[in-house]
Amino acid sequence: MIPWVFLVCSLPLSAAVVPTKTLGVSPDLSSKYVPSKAGTWRCLDGSKEISWDFVNDDSCDCLDGSDEPGTGACPDTQFYCQNEGHIGTYIPSSRVNDGLCEVQCCDGSDERSGVCPNLCKEIGDAYKKKRDAELKIQREGAKVRSSYIAYAHQEKKRLEAEAQALAEQIKIKEKEVQRLQDIAERTESLSQAALEQKKKSPLYQSLLAHNNALKSLQREHNKHLEREKALGEILDALRTGYNPNYQDMAVLEAVRGWEELAGLPHINDVGKETEGSEESKEEDAVIEEELEEGALSADDLQREVPGLLDTDYISLMLEHEEHIQAPVEGSILFDLTSYMPDSVIPAYEDFKDILISWLQKFGIVSADGSAADSSRAQQALHDAENELDSLKKNMETAESDAKEIFNIHGFGAKGEWKKLDGTCLEKDTGDYTYEVCLFKEVKQKPNHGGTTFSLGKFESWNPSSEVEPGRPEFYQKQVYKHGTRCWNGPERNVVLKLTCGVENAILTVQELEKCEYEFTGTSPALCLSVQENGTKNGQPREEL
């Protein structure tokens, strides 16, 4: 009779070493690997109930393979490596007991005891050190990203306020355009003879006289300014160059007078910062003259006089006449049609037109059909209309820019990329400097002379259909297309791959294929806070 110990030794090693029932089971499923009171166990898909002894016995009994989590007996199943001290992970069950130590299973649990050493502590320590460094970068970058988001909100408010202000200006300008339209129409309908007659009015002649006087004053004022500037330069040269030792009282008196008039310290006191000199400066400070109500300061004169000189006095005169001839608001005294029944008004209008034509025919009313000189009125109207169109375009641009700030396909759901719009980053590779102006264009600039080429203009964020717009990974890739065409080749294109970093920078430049470039870089705009980064690429955050 063969002793039992020799019988055991003669059995295959796989039969002698039986894996534990929960080997290869992940923590979230461990509660389901418990036998019933009858010593049975139900497959996870509920299709069959088997003996608890059949679990992890290296024989596949369940259709879903759930009875063999720790062996490779069932196809298309996964083995969970506990990896205590590091991060647990899954590997295909086909790699279990294959005699190879898997990197993912640093605890060696995928092989028989003693085959693979447990390296989880060393690997875990190295991973933790690397992860701590990444978290430090992430936290610092997240602070910068927060400032980008704050900027986006401020920019949106600024653009909305700008659009609102432009809307108010548009209302005012529309009224001005309507006013100038009326003036232009009246000027066109006014005969040249009538216009010349109106120009002879005392008011118009007085306005022209005032205009000429103002032009003359401006001319003389400018002459005096030039003369004062020249005299000031002469006196400054005398002040800094005369020799006080000669005791020339005439020169000394002239210098003292200039210093007092110009509010300058005495040349011998320059640089002496004493308390007394400060008090003297305060005493010698020129007190500005208080202006009467409506009076213009020197700055106001420089700014407003040119506009006054450019006044269209003909239009102003016509407006004045309309104003003084208009009936009192609410009055119908001079409106004959207000006294007539509605049925009579058409006949009255026809009679009025016939009467006016008769009066013109007999010379009682001037029938001179020559157009009045309306060029200035038309020019003023044209300028006002152009200004109105410009205001409307600016308002539309401000409104559009404000809406675009939080567009997930543009500057991100939180506007974190708005701050970087147009920011240019460079990478010097020796022969070339590559410039990436975010959301604009990528260029290749030679460092030793030659032609600068466009490598593409901004086309989109990550175009993959598998990436959801607005997710962090969506903003990890920018595509620039339609650059300068290569000689005998396609157009140049660039894919810019970005990761979280404390700085906006280009790290590497590669030409993977002819005229197809791949850049890598970093940006704080991708650095989510630790709280926001609870998931990574849709997966739970890794923890030790």
Binned at pLDDT 50, 70 and 90, residue 217 comes out as confident
Q: Minimum mean pLDDT among 53-57, 214-218, 468-472, 535-539: which range? A: 535-539
Does the pLDDT at position 4 exceed 70?
Answer: no
pLDDT of residue 91: 95
pLDDT at 345 over 90: no
The pair phi, psi for residue 478, each rounded to 5°, is: -115, 145
Counting residues of the chain whose pLDDT is more than 70, the rounded percentage is 70
User: pLDDT above 90 covers what percent of the chain?
Assistant: 50
- Per residue in 262-319, pLDDT tens? 777 776 665 555 444 555 544 544 455 666 666 667 676 667 667 666 766 666 666 6
pLDDT attached to residue 536: 46
| 506 has a pLDDT exceeding 60 | yes
Q: Are 453 and 466 in contact (CB under 8 A)?
A: no
Domains and CATH numbers, the chain: 1-118 (no CATH), 159-269+296-405 (no CATH), 418-534 (2.70.130.10)
As a whole number of angstroms, the distance between CA 260 and CA 265 comes to 8
More confident residue, 431 or 258: 431
Work out the average pLDDT over 355-374.
Answer: 50
Among 88-92, 287-291, 297-301, 371-375, name the most confident range: 88-92
Average of per-residue pLDDT across 394-408: 94
pLDDT score at 343:
67
Distance between CA 300 and CA 215 in Å, rounded? 16
Which H helix or E strand runs over 428? Answer: strand 424-428
Least confident segment among 316-320, 428-432, 532-536 = 532-536
User: How confident is the model at residue 247, as a pLDDT?
Assistant: 59
Among positive and negative, which fits the CA dihedral 19, 22, 26, 27?
Answer: negative
Task: Tell me what pLDDT residue 254 has.
Answer: 76
List CB contacts of 539: < 8 A, sequence separation 6 or more: none
| Residue 218 confidence class, pLDDT cut points 50, 70, 90 | confident
Q: Where is average pLDDT lowest: 42-56, 230-244, 456-470, 490-504?
A: 230-244
Please tell me the total number of residues recorded for the chain in this structure: 544
Residue 359 scores a pLDDT above 70: no
Q: Which tokens is 48 given?
A: 């069959």
Give me the mean pLDDT over the 485-497 stretch.
92
Q: Which of 280-284, 359-363, 492-496 has the highest mean pLDDT?
A: 492-496
Give pLDDT, residue 104. Answer: 92
CA distances from 140 to 136, 151, 524, 534 (A): 6, 17, 8, 17
pLDDT band at 260 (very low <50, low <70, confident <90, very high): confident
pLDDT reading at 199 higher than 80: no
Residue 309 tokens read as 């000189």
pLDDT at 234: 77
Confidence of residue 6 (pLDDT cuts 50, 70, 90): very low
CA 271/CA 116 separation, integer angstroms: 83
What average pLDDT does this structure show over 73-88?
93
pLDDT confidence of 96, banded at 50, 70, 90? very high
- CA-to-CA distance for 132 and 169, rounded, in angstroms? 55
Q: Using the predicted structure, report yes or no on whether residue 87 has a pLDDT greater than 70.
A: yes
Q: Which is more confidently placed, 251 or 288?
A: 251
The identity of residue 502, as a single letter, is V
CA atoms within 13 A on the CB side of 24: 30
State the alpha helices, DSSP H only, in 49-99: none
Identify the pLDDT of residue 365. Answer: 46
Tell me the pLDDT band of 117, cut-offs 50, 70 and 90. Answer: very high
Q: Which residue has the higher pLDDT, 18 or 479?
A: 479
